[in-house]
Structure 1
Amino acid sequence: MTPEARAREQIDRKLVLAGWIVQDTKQVNLSAGPGVAVREYPTDSGPADYVLFVDRNPVGVIEAKRDDAGHNLSVHETQTQRYANATLKWRKAGAPLRFLYEGTGQLIYFTDGADPAPRARELFHFFRPQTLADWAAQPDTLRSRLQHMPPLPERNLRDCQISAVTGLEKSLAKNKPRALIHMATGAGKTFTAITAVYRLLKFAGAKRILFLVDTRNLGKQAHQEFMAYTPPDDGRTFTELYNVQRLSSSHIDPHAQVCISTIQRMYSILSGTELAETSEDISLNEVGQGDTQAKLVQYNPQVPIEQFDFIIIDECHRSIYNLWKQVLDYFDAFLIGLTATPDKRTYGFFNENVVAEYSYEQSVVDGVNVGYDVYEIETEITAKGAEVKAKEWVDHRDRETRAKRWAQTEEDIVYGSAQLDRSVVNPSQIRQVIQAMKTAVETKIYPQREETPKTLIFAKTDSHADDIIRTVREVYGEGNAFCKKVTYRAGTDPETGKAVAGDDADSVLTSFRNDYYPRIAVTVDMIATGTDVKPLEVLLFMRDVRSRGYYEQMKGRGVRSLGAEALKKVTGSAVGAKSHFVLIDAVGVEKTLKTESRPLERKPMWSLDSLLKGVAMGSQDDDTVLSLGNRLIRLAKRLDDKALAKIKQASGGIGLQDLARGLVQALDPDRVVADALDTAKAAGITRSEDTLTESELDATRRKRVEAACRPFDDPALRDLIESARRDREQVIDTLNPDTVVRSEFAAQAQANAGEAVSRFRTFLEEHRDEIAALGFFYAQPYQRRALTLEMIEELHEALQRPPLMLTTEKLWSAYARVQETKVRGNSLRRQLTDLVSLVRFALGQDEELRPFADSVDKRFADWVFRHNARRATAFTPEQMDWLRLIKDHIATSCRIERDDFDYAQLAGKGGLQKAWTVFDGQLDALLDEMNEELVA
């Protein structure tokens, strides 16, 4: 079969799957069905490869090419257009055919000629005949309607939500296929998304919209918000106007206009895999891709590619890459991402089309969220580890069943922080951290409280969570109701190891939000992200986290603001609204990660009086100004209207909140640039953002800070603010338990983790094109991702050039110094491909920095195991020898092709001809599979 014939055969098969009847011209029967595709239909411009008929009327044309023409498919658009404008034989001349395809056996490009500025887009499959019939019957297209959306009513919307919806609609009007909404946690991302969904359904005529999440809990929360939403132009709720389905099976309700689903469930529907009972309870970002999720998605006639017009992706910074990305590649839909913590992959995936940005710092200034302090606890064993000598009698506990046995240790066991609570459990270490937290909260952090503030503890593992719960109840002298675990797992009996019924996670969460008990909740990951618990005032980290974005999300559980009445309902001794929260770091998580949102509080040990006098006397550095702004934001939440009115009068009409806002916004980089440009323009100097000098920016920044600090020159205002604070706060002496090495507020001016590491990260931030080239597979559909040695060499050469002058060896050594516990294979000689590992680690995609060859070895072992499990017979010893050689080549070159069998080791074994014989003609398929599996 020729390549052209093979491509035609695949196109025929796809057309049939989509509901088309494929016929030859000599045997045309247009009444055979609603959709008929006629091959080699004659026109006055020559025979068209396929002409599409719907209800006997010609509506479209397909220009078919062989598979190896896929890289150049767009050049054939002119040819397709020629056939669309030609006169069909046996038909009267009419309007040009509207629906245009270019396709191979693998690729499909589609253009709707009725769109404004018709533009080709890639499809996973062909549309059904009924879809083209429906589109042809409409007076205009979806993309036309998106250009004529009515103005957004701004009632009951925050400024950041207005900006997000209008920014999104402008992007959609320009037919941009992907858009990213970056909004701080607590700013109302879901409310914003529902507002956009309502308008797309009502005014753009969207048929159906998918709201995609990656945990069942997030889906449940989204459904509740849809039910509670009332649009500004209608008194009915959203679910009274439109059908909303929360998907719990493979059946999508044909009458549903909004479908809420986890990406796990949608993947199982499209790939034909079974959905495990608990697979929707934890983000795929945390569990990764197991062996059971190894299938590619296939066309499903029950869920065609046109099923959804738009896909809203909640928490889009996670779970939409690699294998799971196929769900998004499958549908012909606009993709809209929602996240508070985008990373490099997120920006790349959404084509750097950020339609709205609302930072955590700005949300604190606006009173949407609260600021936070960092408090550190360090014990001797946390910092230095310990050793258990051989022949010591100790408990040995099964990690899953918790069953114990009393036995001697076989050898010396030396453990550090990485092994703690995983391979080794030290009850004393857990007890000392909990005791230090209790002491700190009661004497330093919230000394005025009569009850423990609502506290969330992040544990490393499920067994670690159980150990923490037992210790918390013991240290606090409280019962079971005081401290609960929130987990998606079933409980186990420690004696028998059998599953037992436990507390329902949803009911525990509801009580944690709304009731007095529990005061403390412990979780591994279930409420790490996306779950709203507004009364939280303390977060205790007893685990490190694998990515910067995930850490930001975990911190986000505490940032949500809460009014005085609602806070007092669950914490009776609280006075005033929630003003801040405290992050207690017991594992050094603040030091091991560069976070995107830093605390506004830079000088926690300075009193408010000192900060006020400092700015008045000229101490107007960034840390002092931001700390004063943060302190005034908190104070404004606690003062009554009478006190606030006095301060406003004393300041000449500027309220306390506005005084604080001015301090924080004085240092806002965007506002500094805008003012500097205005100053240059007023002076008759032509400047752009890129040509502003550092001295011009410094002068503008200094001018803005001086203006914001000027009201505090008035000693009467300073005294009034300080006296208002004294009426609300009391000072209590602190006590430090002598078994704790360190218990104090964290210094915020932490030194960078090393100059080389800093320069590398800055390079990745500033040169997204290079990152896009190295991470090419994130920007392409899953089946066609490719990573080549040439890409890595190009990036390596850029890093080696001045002023960076960074080699792979230097970077590896730098990371080994600043993040020793996360670096593996430091003594090995570096390979060029290790640069892939460095980039993935710097971007937070890998938890540990390990040689690229080690990662390939692990993936190879997993792949062989899966492959052998699927075959009637395992690989032979000779085949395994060849496979190991192929694996080693991929480890040094990222890829293997037929030509590579001419190189030394492979050629010495007999080269391509011998390998072809050993694998009985299956070599090409194996090479493709290994290129996919071993380079993730």
Structure 2
Amino acid sequence: MEAERVYATSPAMCAIGCRKALELAVKWVYAADRTMTLPFKDNLQSLIHEPDFRYAMEYDTWKKLPLIVKLGNLAVHTARNITAADAVVSLRGLFEFIEWIDYCYGSNYKEHFFKESLIPQSRVSLDEKRIKEQAGLLKEKEEENKKLYDQVRALSEKLTAEKEKNKEERHFNPEAISEFKTRKIYIDVDMKMEGWIFDGPSQNVVEEYEVDGMAGVPGQKGYVDYVLFGRNGLPLAVVEAKKTSRDPNVGRKQAVLYADCLERRFGRRPMIFNTNGFETYFWDDKTGPQRQVSGIFSREDLERLMDRRMESHPALTSIPISDEITNRVYQKEAIRAVCAHIEEGGRKNLLVMATGTGKTRTAASLVDVLSKGGYITNVLFLADRTALVKQAKDSFREYLPRMSLCNLCSNKDDKNARIVFSTYPTILNSIDDTKRDDGNRLFTPAHFDLIIIDESHRSIFKKYKAIFDYFDAILVGLTATPKTDVDRNTYDFFDMQQGIPTYAYDYNQAISEKYLVPYYNYEVKTKFLEEGITYDDLS
């Protein structure tokens, strides 16, 4: 109600209100439903992406929630980017989510439909600064909110039990997102979140950009949905958008023709994005095959990729491996195996190496080779404990003294470092929280070129998969003991054939080559375990 009340006065404040209302409503669901498991952190992004919550509802309803979050965040930082149409999309998505809650848990459910005409049109006086601070006030009211949520939890057994019965007896119909204007908002918001500017003196996105010579026919014109320009005035990428109900790659051939036209005009081939607002594909047809990504890349990332494309790179096999970092034959073989896989276009690599054979040292040497060859710039090293993060950073400092390093768990001041070390939850939270000096997100989808996953048998499944869905980077997993369970299979995660990693160096081989020594079992008996404890015999 509050979000609707300020709609006519300030679409940006409406978007902020929708985000606040969504947060309260999502937390209500977690309190009411015993099938929902709270994630590691209860911020809104974590709550809506938790599998128990995400898969509890129709995808057509769920996929509207991230946009409400994005629009709210965008409004806080750049209010001028929020239009009345954006605010309506937020209200519409929020309405549908509240309708879904009533459908599942309400005692007197009656199906309702969103009517834009019912949004109040009267203007009100408001203190924008105070409204922006409301997110902070939510925390101040935590005690009050906690009591209310406790009341809901007291009813959770009844609410959870009735949910399935309600879903069988009631009707809920998610609104399809097919209208061009609505679909376009989803794409625009994602681009604005990455810092793209649609108007004003700093504009770097042109919509419906006219090109000539489609399919090589002079005079045959075409209109590109979006052309993204770099600071030098040259096009970096074309974006071909399709309706949300259609496969984004329906427009792939058309996007290639647009790229051909722009290449003839500017002398440089732009990269290609195909998107329907929910699925996005990236293709630099000069360097590799098309792949799915989490969103449109930022200008800085596209400029870095373009510069890398324009430079000549030596074959990875010709770049010397530093003996000061890795001087063992098997370590060099592991590095060459990963390099060969990358040169073939592979983006997921798995090194299975016995404990004590130098996985971290090998990873540092691989970073050295890929950096010297110009294949990577920014690296993320992930471990599942802060002690392992610190240990890895200390090792890299010794092996790569000229590289800038940052332990994100303890010092966010060095966040622009070439190599960032982090735990899974820390980087997940930093995606939204860490900003550049201009206020835009630092850890964009293409920020990291390489992600190294230490002990990759532990934490990469389900809980933190969102990290790897979000970042578009070459992956290198390090483990001594890969999982082969049905629901947690390391080989499946890295798209490997069962039991065949990119490179393996096992315990027995390390012993036979005298890099490790064998272990011996000592059997020890204790009196308590052998004889048990008798009370009467105790002093």
TM-score by length of 1: 0.34
1:431–1:146 CA distance, 2 compared to 1 (3 A)? farther
Q: Deviations over 1:390-426 (max 9, x none)?
A: xxxxxxxxxxxxxxxxxxxxxxxxxxxxxxxxxxxxx
Q: State whether residues 101 and 109 of structure 1, in contact with CA within 8 Å, keep that contact through their aligned partners in structure 2.
A: yes
Q: 2:518 aligns with which of 361, 366, 371?
A: 371
SS at match of 1:12: helix
* Distance (Å, rounded) in 2 between the aligned partners of 1:252 and 1:306: 21
1:252–1:351 CA distance, 2 compared to 1 (3 A)? farther
Q: 2:274 aligns with which of 89, 102, 110?
A: 102
Q: 1:19 aligns with which of 190, 195, 199?
A: 195
Q: State whether residues 242 and 250 of structure 2, in contact with CA within 8 Å, keep that contact through their aligned partners in structure 1.
A: no
Match of 2:74 in 1: none
1:149–1:106 CA distance, 2 compared to 1 (3 A)? farther
Q: 1:192 aligns with which of 359, 362, 368?
A: 362
* Distance (Å, rounded) in 2 between the aligned partners of 1:34 and 1:169: 39
Contiguous gaps of at least 5 residues in structure 2 = 1-176, 215-221, 534-539
AA of the residue aligned to 1:365:
S
Match of 2:466 in 1: 326
* Distance (Å, rounded) in 1 between the aligned partners of 2:415 and 2:515: 38
Q: How does 1:256-275 map to 2 (within 5 A)?
A: 256-270=417-431
* Distance (Å, rounded) in 2 between the aligned partners of 1:49 and 1:191: 47
Q: 2:528 aligns with which of 426, 432, 451?
A: 432
Q: 1:248 aligns with which of 383, 391, 409?
A: 409
1:149–1:22 CA distance, 2 compared to 1 (3 A)? farther
* Distance (Å, rounded) in 2 between the aligned partners of 1:343 and 1:87: 47
Deviation at 1:245, TM superposition (A): 1.4
Deviation at 1:375, TM superposition (A): 5.2
Q: State whether residues 316 and 369 of structure 2, in contact with CA within 8 Å, keep that contact through their aligned partners in structure 1.
A: no
Deviation at 1:739, TM superposition (A): 6.2
Deviation at 1:145, TM superposition (A): 5.4
1:78 aligns with 2:258: no
Match of 2:492 in 1: 348
Q: 1:37 aligns with which of 206, 221, 227?
A: 206
1:69–1:47 CA distance, 2 compared to 1 (3 A)? same
* Distance (Å, rounded) in 1 between the aligned partners of 2:358 and 2:178: 56
Deviation at 1:302, TM superposition (A): 2.5
Match of 2:389 in 1: 219
AA of the residue aligned to 1:302:
L
* Distance (Å, rounded) in 2 between the aligned partners of 1:146 and 1:180: 21
1:127–1:257 CA distance, 2 compared to 1 (3 A)? same
AA of the residue aligned to 1:105:
G
Deviation at 1:44, TM superposition (A): 4.0
* Distance (Å, rounded) in 2 between the aligned partners of 1:211 and 1:22: 35
Q: Greater CA radius of gyration, 1 or 2?
A: 1
* RMSD of aligned alpha carbons: 3.0
1:348–1:226 CA distance, 2 compared to 1 (3 A)? same
AA of the residue aligned to 2:242:
K
SS at match of 1:67: coil
SS at match of 2:195: coil
Q: Deviations over 1:780-816 (max 9, x none)?
A: xxxxxxxxxxxxxxxxxxxxxxxxxxxxxxxxxxxxx
1:305 aligns with 2:445: yes
* Distance (Å, rounded) in 1 between the aligned partners of 2:308 and 2:433: 34
1:265–1:300 CA distance, 2 compared to 1 (3 A)? farther
Match of 2:144 in 1: none
Q: How does 1:99-498 map to 2 (within 5 A)?
A: 99-115=271-287, 118-138=288-308, 140=310, 147=316, 149-152=318-321, 157-204=327-374, 206-229=376-399, 238-239=400-401, 241-248=402-409, 251=412, 253=414, 255-270=416-431, 301-344=441-484, 345-352=489-496, 354-374=501-521, 432-433=528-529
* Distance (Å, rounded) in 1 between the aligned partners of 2:295 and 2:345: 20
* Distance (Å, rounded) in 2 between the aligned partners of 1:191 and 1:34: 45
Q: State whether residues 405 and 414 of structure 2, in contact with CA within 8 Å, keep that contact through their aligned partners in structure 1.
A: no
Match of 1:541 in 2: none
SS at match of 1:86: helix
SS at match of 1:68: coil
Deviation at 1:220, TM superposition (A): 1.7
1:350–1:205 CA distance, 2 compared to 1 (3 A)? closer
1:67 aligns with 2:211: no
* Distance (Å, rounded) in 2 between the aligned partners of 1:191 and 1:352: 23
* Distance (Å, rounded) in 1 between the aligned partners of 2:268 and 2:211: 15
1:217–1:107 CA distance, 2 compared to 1 (3 A)? same
Q: State whether residues 270 and 300 of structure 1, in contact with CA within 8 Å, keep that contact through their aligned partners in structure 2.
A: no
Deviation at 1:337, TM superposition (A): 0.2
AA of the residue aligned to 2:490:
T
Match of 1:291 in 2: none
* Distance (Å, rounded) in 2 between the aligned partners of 1:159 and 1:140: 34
Q: State whether residues 256 and 272 of structure 2, in contact with CA within 8 Å, keep that contact through their aligned partners in structure 1.
A: yes
SS at match of 1:245: strand
AA of the residue aligned to 1:371:
P
Q: Deviations over 1:502-555 (max 9, x none)?
A: xxxxxxxxxxxxxxxxxxxxxxxxxxxxxxxxxxxxxxxxxxxxxxxxxxxxxx
AA of the residue aligned to 1:84:
A
Deviation at 1:248, TM superposition (A): 2.8
AA of the residue aligned to 1:243:
S
AA of the residue aligned to 1:246:
N
AA of the residue aligned to 1:327:
I
1:253–1:146 CA distance, 2 compared to 1 (3 A)? farther
SS at match of 1:47: strand
1:173–1:180 CA distance, 2 compared to 1 (3 A)? same
1:128–1:739 CA distance, 2 compared to 1 (3 A)? closer
* Distance (Å, rounded) in 2 between the aligned partners of 1:196 and 1:42: 43
Q: How does 1:597-612 map to 2 (within 5 A)?
A: none
* Distance (Å, rounded) in 2 between the aligned partners of 1:87 and 1:359: 52
Q: Deviations over 1:474-529 (max 9, x none)?
A: xxxxxxxxxxxxxxxxxxxxxxxxxxxxxxxxxxxxxxxxxxxxxxxxxxxxxxxx
AA of the residue aligned to 1:311:
I
Q: How does 1:780-819 map to 2 (within 5 A)?
A: none
> Aligned residues, how many?
337
SS at match of 2:412: coil
AA of the residue aligned to 2:202:
G
AA of the residue aligned to 2:457:
H
Contiguous gaps of at least 5 residues in structure 1 = 24-28, 230-237, 274-298, 379-429, 434-736, 741-936
SS at match of 2:464: helix
Which structure is richer in relative contact order (CA contacts within 8 A, separation 6 or more)?
2
Deviation at 1:75, TM superposition (A): 4.7
Q: State whether residues 246 and 260 of structure 1, in contact with CA within 8 Å, keep that contact through their aligned partners in structure 2.
A: yes
Q: How does 1:565-584 map to 2 (within 5 A)?
A: none
Q: Deviations over 1:847-874 (max 9, x none)?
A: xxxxxxxxxxxxxxxxxxxxxxxxxxxx
SS at match of 2:409: coil
1:51 aligns with 2:244: no
Deviation at 1:321, TM superposition (A): 1.1
* Distance (Å, rounded) in 2 between the aligned partners of 1:148 and 1:62: 35
* Distance (Å, rounded) in 1 between the aligned partners of 2:203 and 2:372: 30
TM-score by length of 2: 0.57
Q: State whether residues 181 and 356 of structure 1, in contact with CA within 8 Å, keep that contact through their aligned partners in structure 2.
A: yes
Q: How does 1:639-678 map to 2 (within 5 A)?
A: none
Q: Deviations over 1:101-146 (max 9, x none)?
A: 100111111112331xx3112111211123323443456369x556
* Distance (Å, rounded) in 1 between the aligned partners of 2:384 and 2:520: 30
* Distance (Å, rounded) in 2 between the aligned partners of 1:271 and 1:16: 14
1:66–1:146 CA distance, 2 compared to 1 (3 A)? farther
SS at match of 1:21: coil
- Which sits farther off after the overlay, 207-216 or 48-57? 48-57
Q: State whether residues 205 and 226 of structure 2, in contact with CA within 8 Å, keep that contact through their aligned partners in structure 1.
A: no
* Distance (Å, rounded) in 2 between the aligned partners of 1:311 and 1:332: 9
SS at match of 2:258: helix
* Distance (Å, rounded) in 2 between the aligned partners of 1:265 and 1:368: 35
